[in-house]
Structure formats: C-alpha cells, structure tokens
Amino acid sequence: MTPRSQIAENFNINPRQAAALKKLGLKTIEDLLFYFPTRYESFSERKNIVSLAEGDKTTVFGEVLEANIGKTWKKKMAISEISIGDNTGILKAVWFHQPYMAKIITIGDKIALTGKVSNGKGGLYMSNPSFEKITSYEALGEGAAILPVYPETYGITSRWLRFVIQKSLIAAKDIADPIPPEILKKYKLPSLKSALIYIQKPNKLKDAEAARKRFAFEEVFFIQMARLKQRQERQADHCLKLNCPPEELNEFVTSFPFQLTEAQKKAVAAIQADVRKEFPMSRLLEGDVGSGKTAVAIAATFMAVSSGYQVAYMAPTEILAAQHFSSFIEYFSQLKFRPKIGLLTSSDCRKYPSKVNPQEATKISKAQLLKWVENGEIPILIGTHALIEDKVKFCGKDGSSLALVIIDEQHRFGTAQRSSLAKDKSGKTPHLLSMTATPIPRTLALTIYGDLDLTLLDQLPEGRKPVITKIFQPEERESAYATIRSEIETGRQAYIICPRVDEPDPEKEMAILAKSVKEEAKRLKEKIFPEFEIDILHGKMLPKEKEEALLKFKENKSKILVATSVIEVGINVPNATIILIEGAERFGLAQLHQLRGRVIRGRHQPYCLVFAESRSQKTMERLKAFISAKNGFELAEYDLAIRGSGELGGGKQWGISDLGMEALKNLKMVEAARTEAQKIIANDPKLKNFPMLLKKIEASKRLHFE
C-alpha cells in the first residue's frame, strides 16, 4: 500500500461506496489519510437509555424497534423517525429532510446514536443524531477508548471510513513531511507521520489536539509562504513611478467638500510614499463602512492621472460602479484639466464629459469606449469585473500606461480576479490599491493579506453620531414603524431589509418562511405607510431598474427602500438615517454591520432597528454583540472567538479550512508561522532548498487562485 495508490486497489468497495468516495473527492490512500474526523467520541460518554435526561449530549446503543418515514408540515417535509431500545428503555430519534435515512436503517439493526437529548410530547428523543450501525459495543472501535467520527454520507458510514483509514495508516510513513524539521522541533509539533496517526487513531485526546495543532499551523504556514513569495515576486517587478508634486495633490484635496480625517491623511501619505518607489505598491486600505475610503482612492487616482497615466477602478456591482462614476465626476470636474472618465459594466458604457453637454456623462458604445481607453483619451476607467476582460487594453505601445489599479470591496472578488487586474500586462506592473470594509481579525489579516501592506482607516469623519441599535420584539412592530414615520416626517429616509426577494416557493421542500422584499413592500404600502413613496431594490432586478430605483431614492423621491442585502456593499445615501432589518439571524454579523453602515453617512442621528424571527439563545447573544460592538473589528474578533469559521466565510471565502481557522484563534501561532515563512523566503527566495514546500505552495495556488 503506497500513499499514491488508489483506494479501490487496496479495498473492496461497492458501487455505492465508490460514488460516495468520488463525491468526497477521495481517490488515493493519501486522500484518505488527510480526511480528518470532525470529532471524537469517548466511550465513557455513552449512557443507558433509562439514565438519559433532557440536554444530555451522549451516545446510546440499541436495537432498532421501529422505523418510519413520513411527511409532515403540509406534507412537504420528510421526517424519518425510529425507536431504539436497549435493556433499559426506549428512545426515539428523528431526522428532518433526510428521507434516505429510512433506506439506511431497518428494523433489527444495532445502532449507536450520538446527539443531544430533547424532551418532546412523546418523551425523550434525539433530533438529527449522528448514527452508526454496529454489531456490538465492543465492535465500535477495536477496544480503543477514543473513536474518531467522520461525517456520514449516503453510501459510506463513519465506521467504514474508520476501518479503511486505520488500515491505511501504514502508508503514513511514506509521505514526506513538507515542514522543515527545525521548525517542528522549535514549536514542538509532531512529525507528519505521528500527526496522521494521532489525528486518525488517537490514544489520548491530547494527541489528537497536538495533531490538529500541527495541521492548523501547516495550513497557515503554507498560505503565508505563498503570500510572502507573491509579495517578493511583485517587489521584483517594475512599475511606473508617480512623482506627483505634493502641492498639486494638496490643492486638489482642498477642493473636497470636507477636510480629510487624520486617518485619511495618513493613508494618502502612505500611498504617496509607495508610488514613488521602484517597485509597485500593494496596499490594502481597510476601513469600516463610512470611513471615507473613496476620498482616499480619489486622491490616489489624482497621483496617477496628473502624471499622465491611466487608472482602473473595479467595483463589485454595477450599482456601485455607477455610483463611483458619479462621485469621480464630482471630484474631478473641479480640476482645470478635467480628466475624462469612463464607465464600463456588462450592460452600460458611459463617458464623461459628453461632447454635447460638457457638464454631463453620455452613453457610448462599448467599442468606442474601449478604443478611447486604448488610445489614452480616457485616463480613468471605472467598472465591474468587465474590466478584466482581455478586450480591455490600456494606452501605450508596450501597454504600460496603466499606473494604478484600485479594487473596491476587494473581498467580493476572487483572488484570481484581483490578481488578473493587478498583474503585469506589459513590462510594467501597475500599483495596486485594494480596499475593504470587511473587518477581519488581525490573525486572519496577517495570514491572507501577507502580500499586502495594510493601512487602517480607523476613524470616522467628524460629526458622525453612533448608530442607535435596538432589537424589537415581534409585538413592538408598531413602535418601530412609528420611529420610521417620525424620521421620514423630519425629512429623512429609510431602508427596510428583508432576507428574500420573493415569497418562498411552496413546491420546494425546504420552504423557509422569511419576509420577502416584494411582499413586504406591498404590505407596507397598503397597511403601514400608505402616505410614503416606497420602492424596492434587489439583485434580481435588471441593472437599469436597479439604477432607477437607487436614483429615485438618492433624489429623495422615494422615502422607503425595501431591499435585500444588495445594499450592503457601499451604497451611499447620506439622507437615509434609519435601517430596519427583518430576519436578522439570517445575516452574518459582519454583514449586519455592513448593513448598519449604510446609515452612518450623514450628520443626522442614525438608527438601526432589528427584528429576528428566532429567539434562540445563540441569536440573542449574537445580536447583543452586534449592539455593543464599537466597530467591525471587535465584531470580527467576537465571531472568530465564538465560532472560528462560519461567518467569516470559512474555507470558501478566504481559502482556509475549518482546521486552519482554529489556528487563527491563536495569535502566537500565526505570528510564529509568519516569522518562519519570512525567514525562509528571505534566505532562499526561490525555495531552491525547499522543493517540497515549493510544490505545496504551487498546489495551494492551484486550489485557491484559479
């Protein structure tokens, strides 16, 4: 048995198991070894049915006496229900939405159920427990005291996985350890071979912990290696140096309708220092919603266009791109040389100023716009990801007139999308200014932004009042609506956020009953606010409709905008001071914070009114944190502390596994990984002496960047 050999070569597998393995992406013995258990069960946790009490989290073992599959909730939802008995009593278990359970479990099976015991009408039961078919307790784990538990998938059981994985452990010694031994020694981490055994077949829970720590370290270490290498490669690139005279920049900035905050000034100064260097800037501007990132971006744009170069500004949505297009027009039309500005999205191309009316922008064809960008006539191009199409070329024979790329709300783009704009299309690499309002914990920033220099905009413009956030009980709707009414009567406007666009589709099994934008807007207009103009905004509308709705709201023609979380990203209507959020538990904390950010744009007292459909303890705790957190960073740290991955997006958003997220709870560990990665890159930039590390990094690039 070798690590690279196929599972099928080493074990008898039936077609169902083969299908399940394929679904899990497990092909080789090595894949199996790296398929880690989600948790462990200790034997001591098991109980007899008679001794169960409500709230117990435990394992019971018994024989299946009854097995039913039924439909409930207007016959839409499948429920599988079984009863098991041991010598002491009978316990029920139910699974929702899992009709296949009935196929897996049949009467007479011996089964172990692990879950939480609840008390219902028919007595004690477990809901959605994990289960395992076994013959006897002794068969559970070859006498081991600790049992790894893997997620069950149709086709393979945790037990079967445990069996094949433990048999495969013999191949662990043949997998080379990519972490240099000195590092393992220094941080007292187990070798790869030991760690695989510890995690898959621990004798003590402590061993499993040590193994998890190693794998968590490894993941963070690899990501940092990859980022630092990227950074180092970028620093070897050539760029267009921007020597914008400080007086000119100063004069431009003083034309703004406000004074820059100290934080903004620092950010502008950092950028100015960066763009004078020999290598391209890679800076991340991280500032809470409303901290004024656009003004900083505009100052940076000035540095490039006043030197005669071009700027590309990429925003995640068409609404935002259009909004920035008009802001840029406002700022840059003050200038004597009035640079031309283009807008490029998949549905809309515009140019400012129009030939006919120099005060306004005009629609033009995409071909025309691209031509003007290519011949340099348009120095500022704003758009969505349409900007990264190959057809978009910037001026200059060698293509090197694009001096600066700005990416707004950069977390909304995939890493590939981000780097493709920032990458070298010619001899010179443009400077990169990335912006984000997603506050993330320091450890995560250190890890995933290891290739960027970080500037925090940790100060809101003067005169902003903190948002008054209040959670309302369902029966307090009237009072929430009264607050909205009185605000609108004094001239303000309101957002009402619903989790859905349409009513749930009754044909779908998993119908969720949450308020929808369309229905709610109708209800509000008919029953609550007949006197106010109400409009809607959601992601399924045509770009043109969206823009019209937004414009109407901006011009204060509509008073209430009922919307989905599409408004979460960067929409700026300073007169809107009140936001009511329905079904708040359906949004992540960071997202709620972004939504709330929509109303800290002006000088009036802002309000955030929150309704939650669930009143569970977890929901209440999260909402409490939402109320009391002073800023987004605090919320992000809170999120990390209570759940690790989850709302921070976990694996998907940041390219980090749940295990890796565990490492992020530990600042020391993250810093250690970074120190070691930095040392290696500094001594051996091409990783000539670390071929295995190099391979790992390349592989992780394939995983995360393409």
Site residues (vs ligand ADP, CB under 6 A): 258-261, 264, 287, 289-295, 437, 461, 570, 572, 574, 601
* Residue 315 or 488 with smaller CB distance to Mg ion: 315
Residue 516 interacts with, from ligand ADP, Mg ion, none (CB under 5-8 Å by kind): none
- Indicate which of ligand ADP, Mg ion, none lies near residue 461 (CB less than 5 to 8 Å, by partner kind): ligand ADP
Nearest to 250 by CA among 201, 302, 202: 302
Burial label for 193, CB within 10 Å (0-12, 13-18, 19+), is middle
Minimum Å gap between C-beta 245 and ligand ADP is 22
Cβ–Cβ < 8 Å for 612, 584: yes
Question: Is residue 290 a contact residue for Mg ion (CB under 5 A)?
Answer: no
Nearer Cβ to ligand ADP, position 3 or 287?
A: 287
Task: Look at the block and give the residue holding tokens 């694996």.
Answer: 651
> Residue 430 binds what, of Mg ion, ligand ADP, none (CB under 5 to 8 Å, by partner type)?
none
Q: How far is the CB of 17 from ligand ADP (least distance, A)?
A: 51
How many chain residues touch Mg ion (CB under 5 A)? Answer: 1
Residue pair 321/384 in contact (Cβ under 8 Å)? The answer is yes
Torsion 655-661-664-669 (CA) sign:
negative
**Cα 313 from chain centroid (whole Å):** 22
The helix or strand, by DSSP H or E, that contains position 39, with its residue range, turns out to be strand 39-42
Q: Pick between residue 190 and residue 290 the one whose CB is nearest to ligand ADP.
A: 290
Nearer to ligand ADP by C-beta: 286 or 535?
286
- Alpha-carbon dihedral angle through residues 49, 51, 53, 57, given to the nearest 10 degrees: -70
State how far the alpha carbon of 594 is from the alpha carbons of 401, 439, 549, 554, in Å. 35, 10, 20, 19
Site residues (CB under 5 A) for Mg ion, limited to 359-418: none
Structure letter (DSSP) for residue 516:
B
**Nearest residue (CB) to Mg ion, 401 versus 594:** 594
Least distance between ligand ADP and beta carbon 384 (Å): 16
> What residues numbered 500-529 form the site for Mg ion, per CB under 5 A?
none
Q: Which does 263 bind (CB under 5 to 8 A by kind): Mg ion, ligand ADP, none?
A: none
CA dist 42 and 204 (Å) reads 10
Question: Which of ligand ADP, Mg ion, none lies near 572, with the C-beta cut-off 5 to 8 A by kind?
Answer: ligand ADP
Question: To the nearest whole angstrom, how small is the minimum distance from the Cβ of residue 523 to ligand ADP?
Answer: 31
- Structure tokens, 180: 């240099």
Binder of residue 260, out of ligand ADP, Mg ion, none (CB less than 5 to 8 A by kind): ligand ADP
Closest approach of ligand ADP to the CB of residue 326, in Å: 12
Nearest-angstrom CA–CA distance, 249 and 268: 10
Residue 601 touches which member of Mg ion, ligand ADP, none, C-beta under 5-8 Å by kind: ligand ADP
**Residue 554 binds which entry of ligand ADP, Mg ion, none, CB below 5-8 Å type-dependent:** none
Distance in Å, CB of 547 to Mg ion, minimum:
17
Smallest distance, Mg ion to C-beta of residue 411, A: 12
Choose the one of Mg ion, ligand ADP, none that binds residue 289, judging by a C-beta under 5 to 8 angstroms depending on kind. ligand ADP
User: Closest separation between CB of residue 418 and ligand ADP, Å?
Assistant: 17
Q: Which is nearer to ligand ADP, 331 or 626 (CB)?
A: 331
Residue 202 binds Mg ion, judged by CB under 5 A:
no
Q: Alpha helices of 389-464 — where are they, by DSSP H?
A: 415-422, 442-448
Q: State which residue, 499 or 570, has the beta carbon closest to Mg ion.
A: 570
Binding at 291: pick from Mg ion, ligand ADP, none (beta carbon under 5-8 Å per type): ligand ADP
CA atoms within 13 A on the CB side of 437: 27
597 forms part of the interface with Mg ion (CB under 5 A)? no
Q: Which residues contact 29 (CB under 8 A, 6 or more apart)?
A: 1, 2, 3, 4, 5, 6, 7, 10, 168, 171
Give the shortest CB-103-to-ligand ADP separation in angstroms: 52
* 649 touches Mg ion (CB under 5 A): no
Nearest residue (CB) to ligand ADP, 239 versus 267 = 267
Alpha-carbon distance of 101 to 643, in angstroms, equals 29
CB of 366 to Mg ion, least distance (A): 25
How many other CB atoms are there within 10 angstroms of residue 222's CB atom? 20
CA 656, CA 664: separation in Å to the nearest integer? 10
Which amino acid is it at 526? E
- CA 49 to chain CA centroid, nearest Å: 42
Strand-pair category, 110-120 with 341-344: unpaired
Residue nearest to ligand ADP (CB): 292
Distance CA 381, CA 310 (A): 8
Q: How far is CA 235 from CA 241, 279, 419, 681, in A?
A: 13, 5, 14, 13
Pair 300, 271: CB distance under 8 Å: yes
Output 322 or 517, the one with its CB closest to ligand ADP: 322
**439 contacts which partner out of ligand ADP, Mg ion, none, CB within 5 to 8 A by kind?**
none
**Complete edge-to-edge strand list for the sheet that includes strand 282-287:** 362-363, 349-352, 341-344, 380-383, 310-314, 402-407, 431-436, 282-287, 453-457
Tell me which amino acid residue 305 is.
V
Tokens representing residue 340 in the block: 């031309």
What is the smallest separation between the CB atom of 329 and Mg ion, expressed in angstroms? 16
By beta-carbon proximity to ligand ADP, the closer residue of 147 and 608 is 608
Q: CB of 127: closest distance to ligand ADP in angstroms?
A: 42
Residue, CB closest to Mg ion: 570
For residue 290, the partner it binds in ligand ADP, Mg ion, none, with Cβ less than 5 to 8 A by kind, is: ligand ADP
258, interface contact from ligand ADP, Mg ion, none, CB < 5-8 Å by kind: ligand ADP
Binding test (CB under 5 A) with Mg ion, winner from 62, 339, 570, 660: 570
Q: Which residue, 257 or 506, has its beta carbon nearer to ligand ADP?
A: 257
Q: How far is the CB of 605 from Mg ion (least distance, A)?
A: 22
> Among residues 295 and 584, whose Cβ is nearest to ligand ADP?
295
What residues make contact with Mg ion under the rule CB under 5 A? 570
